[in-house]
Amino acid sequence: MAEKQEVNKLPLILTAMGTVFFTVMVLHLYGYLNIAREEEGLLVAEFGLVTVGSEEAGQLRSRAANQVAECVDGVLVLHDARHNGLSGLLVDQRQRVVRCNAQSVPVAE
């Protein structure tokens, strides 16, 4: 009987591992992977849109929310009044930033 030549599997394993590592690095470089810590992406509150003239507009509560919005460089930034120093960007369901048009630009003091 003919002897089968044994194939060295180490180069195949190293090539597969290197390919996975390289693929992950390229995806991260081009922004397809977003690796964030849990505290960076906490959901503080959910918001809904009430259109003017709808039935829901007449059912709003008189008490204001605990968040304050500010337009900074054309982006809507929310500050939480209950947690001092907690701020974040307002985004939609697809994680797109909500833009705003500021009448006047805030001046840093």
DSSP state letters, 29-65 = HTT------GGGG----------TTSGGGGG--SSPP
pLDDT at 70: 83
Q: What is the pLDDT of residue 9?
A: 93
Output the tens digit of pLDDT for each of the chain's 109 residues: 567 788 899 999 999 999 999 999 999 888 888 777 666 666 666 666 666 666 665 666 777 777 888 888 888 888 887 777 767 888 877 778 888 886 655 555 5
pLDDT value for 22: 97
DSSP letters spanning 7-22: PP-HHHHHHHHHHHHH
pLDDT at 32: 82
Q: pTM for this structure? A: 0.45
State residue 6's pLDDT score.
84
Q: Which helix (H) or strand (E) holds 26?
A: helix 10-29
